[in-house]
Amino acid sequence: MFHDPDYVRTVSLKLSEVLNDIGVNERMILKRRRIFLLSETMSTSYNSLKGSNISNYHFGSKSEGSTTIGLESDIDNLICDNEVNVVHELNEYQHGRRNLLMIQDETTSPGYCLLQDLHGGYSNHHTVYRGKLLLKNTLYTDLSKDIAGSVIDGPAISSQGIEGCCDQDDVLAFPCKSWPREAWPWLERQGIGKWPTEDMKRYCETTGYFVVPCSSKNGQNPEQLEWRISTSQAERCLMFSLNITQIRCYILMKMILKAFINPQCDSVLSSFMCKTALFHCIQNTYSNNWRQSNLLACLTCCLVVLQKFVRQENCPHFIIPENNLMAGRFSPHNKHKCLEVLQNIIQSAGLKLLEIPIDDLGTRLHMKMIMDEPLQYSHTPEEMNAAISAQLLNVFTEGISIDHKFLLGKITPDQNEQVHERLSNIMFAYTTTYREMGFNSLEKIAFKLHIPLLSSSLGSVIASRDIYTTNSISQEALAWFTVGLDSDVSSGRLKLASALYCARDMEMAEFVLRNTEEKYDLNTVEPMCNCYFYVTKHLRRGFVNKCNSGNEELIKHITSFCIRFLQCEICCVPAELQYEMFRSTQEDMSERNERQNERNDFWMNWAVVDSLPYLYFLQYKTYGALQRYRDQQHALAKLVIATESESNLRHRETALNLLGQCMEQENRHMDALACYMKSLDIRERNNAANVHVCRLLNELVNMQ
Each residue's pLDDT tens digit, 168-202: 678 999 999 999 999 999 999 988 989 999 999 99
565 and 581 Cβ atoms separated by less than 8 Å: yes
Dihedral of alpha carbons 440, 441, 442, 446, sign: negative
What is the reported pLDDT for 185?
Answer: 96
What is the reported pLDDT for 373?
Answer: 58
Which is more confident, 52 or 496? 496
Q: Which residues make Cβ contacts (< 8 Å) with residue 566, sequence separation at least 6?
A: 408, 412, 419, 457, 461, 606
How far apart, in whole angstroms, are the C-alpha atoms of residue 324 and residue 109? 9
How far apart, in whole angstroms, are the C-alpha atoms of residue 640 and residue 626? 21
User: Which ranges of 189-270 would DSSP assign to H, the alpha helix?
Assistant: 198-206, 232-240, 244-256, 262-264
| Rg of the Cα atoms in the chain | 29
Exposed (0-12), middle (13-18) or buried (19+): which is 543, by Cβ within 10 Å?
A: buried
Share of residues in the chain with pLDDT > 70 (%)? 92
The least confident of 26-30, 86-90, 607-611 is: 86-90
What is the reported pLDDT for 537?
Answer: 80
Dihedral of alpha carbons 449, 385, 239, 267, sign: positive
Each residue's pLDDT tens digit, 454-476: 999 999 999 999 999 999 999 99
The answer, yes or no, to whether residue 385 has pLDDT greater than 70, is yes
pTM of the model: 0.89
How does 25-62 read in b/e, with b if 16+ C-beta sit within 10 Å? Answer: beebbebbbbbbbbbbbbbbbbbebeeeebbbbbbbbb
Which is more confident, 610 or 398? 610
The answer, yes or no, to whether residue 122 has pLDDT greater than 80, is no
Each residue's pLDDT tens digit, 195-248: 999 999 999 999 999 999 988 877 777 778 899 999 999 999 999 999 999 999
How far apart, in whole angstroms, are the C-alpha atoms of residue 26 and residue 237? 17
Q: Which residues make Cβ contacts (< 8 Å) with residue 537, sequence separation at least 6?
A: 647, 648
Dihedral of alpha carbons 324, 327, 329, 330, sign: positive
CB atoms closer than 10 angstroms to residue 221:
20
Each residue's pLDDT tens digit, 476-534: 999 999 999 999 999 999 999 999 999 999 999 999 999 999 999 999 999 999 898 88
582 closest CA partner among 613, 611, 606: 606
Instruction: Report the pLDDT averaged over residues 422-446.
Output: 79
Instruction: Report the pLDDT averaged over residues 104-122.
Output: 86
516 and 496 Cβ atoms separated by less than 8 Å: no
The answer, yes or no, to whether residue 376 has pLDDT greater than 80, is no
Exposed (0-12), middle (13-18) or buried (19+): which is 521, by Cβ within 10 Å?
A: middle
The answer, yes or no, to whether residue 162 has pLDDT greater than 50, is no
Domain boundaries, the chain: 5-24+52-378, 382-703
What CATH number does the domain located at 5-24+52-378 have? 1.10.1410.40
